[in-house]
Amino acid sequence: MAIFQESVAVRNARLDAEETAIGASPLLKLYTGAVPANCAAADPAGLLITLTLPADWLANAAAGVKSKAGTWSGTASAAGVAASWRIKDSTDTTCHYQGDVTDTVGTGTLKLDNTNIANTQAMVINSASITAGNS
């Protein structure tokens, strides 16, 4: 099978288009349950926290990477160990991205200083980025 590669301009355009498709002020949700098989599957068990992201939640893509923009914060509504996450549109209808959660030494697609979340705990996501493949 042949492997194709994309230019940085194409990767940047694709990433910027993804943010536009997801829309303004999406929701970042953390769960205790495992990552579902795909974004169309039901949400995992154990919702811990819902963060409403800013209207412009990602910076413009550069070098095939989009980094978080603005403040990503919220307050936990339950206690448990975060194992998975989803980014859903602002109406909480459609999952657009999902992945696993680990601490900072793990290999998760979202890394937290501490995955053990307490009820009513304030949480701030300090850094996050999405990198396009096919470079």
110-127 per-position pLDDT tens digit: 999 999 999 999 999 998
Q: How confident is the model at residue 135 (pLDDT cuts 50, 70, 90)?
A: low
Q: Is residue 55 part of a domain?
A: yes
Q: Is residue 73 part of a domain?
A: yes
Q: pLDDT value at position 4?
A: 82
Residue 112 in tokens:
């937290």
| Structural domain that includes position 106 | 24-130
Q: Is residue 11 part of a domain?
A: no
Q: How confident is the model at residue 98 (pLDDT cuts 50, 70, 90)?
A: very high
Distance between CA atoms of 12 and 125, rounded to whole angstroms?
A: 23
Q: Is residue 67 part of a domain?
A: yes
**How far is the CA of 30 from the CAs of 43, 68, 99, 127, in angstroms?**
10, 17, 10, 16
Distance between CA atoms of 49 and 118, rounded to whole angstroms?
A: 10
Contact call for residues 75 and 122 (beta carbons, < 8 A): yes
Q: Is residue 14 part of a domain?
A: no
How many structural domains is the chain composed of?
1
Distance between CA atoms of 81 and 12, rounded to whole angstroms?
A: 34
Q: pLDDT value at position 79?
A: 98
Q: Is residue 16 part of a domain?
A: no
Q: Is residue 77 part of a domain?
A: yes
